[in-house]
Amino acid sequence: MVKKILFWTTIVAFLMFLMGCGPSATEVAAPPTKAAPPPTPTGVVPPTATPQPGPVQPPAPAVRRVVLIIAHKGFRDEEYHEPRAVLEGQGFQVTVASSSLEMATGMLGARVQPDILVNDIVVSDYAAVVFVGGVGAAEYWDNPIAHRIAQEAVAQSKVLAAICIAPVTLARAGVLQGRRATVFESETDKVQAGGATCTGESVVRDGLIITANGPGAARQFGETIAAALKEQK
């Protein structure tokens, strides 16, 4: 009897041992590991995102340039200062040309440092060519370089302007033939000799040629030049 009890006790213990070796009911299986991406073949660059272009900016407007031609000695101060102030105030860039690069002096004491020589003017670089008056402006009346500049300005459809006695330069360059113009009263015959009709008005515009008769018309002269330039856009 005792042997039977020991036998069955041994059998039960053995079965309990076997049951303890397996996984328990509460044991959770580990999650499967994520497969690694396949390696990039040697020498192959992976594709990158194409950058998107930004908004297209409109080009900045070009600065329009005007050259003012003054006498080295004896230009008229107002006829230089007033048109320059009007033109720069409306966004135009002004270059000053003279027959010398030394300091130029005006009839009333103005002192202006020229930027370039008249001989170095390239008409195509400018939207307008302006001859300033004053007693010293007579130095350009018979100057072949000044005549060529005036002729090229007309040929290239540039604004061409002269004030006080400076319209004589235009007349002798042959660009006032058949045009309406004005000039300082004492020089009317010289302008008419060039084939112009002198009106006696303060400022006269005939196409792209603008003339004025003296310092009292300097501001209107500048405004008329600016208006003609704006029409050329």
CA gap 210, 223 in Å, rounded: 11
pLDDT of residue 22: 43
Mean pLDDT for the chain overall: 85
Beta strand 209-212 with 203-206: parallel, antiparallel or unpaired? antiparallel
Interval 134-157 mean pLDDT: 98
In angstroms, the Cα distances linking 217 to 7, 62, 82, 221 are 139, 29, 9, 6
Digit-coded pLDDT (tens) for 158-201: 999 999 999 999 999 999 999 999 999 999 999 999 999 999 99
232 falls in which pLDDT band (50, 70, 90)?
Answer: confident
CA gap 86, 40 in Å, rounded: 69
Look at 220 and 8; give whichever has higher pLDDT. Answer: 220
For residue 26, is pLDDT > 50? no
Helix (H) or strand (E) holding 78: helix 77-89
Interval 21-42 mean pLDDT: 48
What does pTM read for this prediction? 0.75
Digit-coded pLDDT (tens) for 70-125: 999 999 999 999 999 999 999 999 999 999 999 999 999 999 999 999 999 999 99
pLDDT of residue 2: 46
Type of residue numbered 11: I
Among left, alpha and beta (phi > 0; psi -120 to 50; other), residue 121 is beta
pLDDT of residue 18: 45
10 falls in which pLDDT band (50, 70, 90)?
Answer: low
- Show the domains of the chain with their CATH numbers: 65-231 (3.40.50.880)
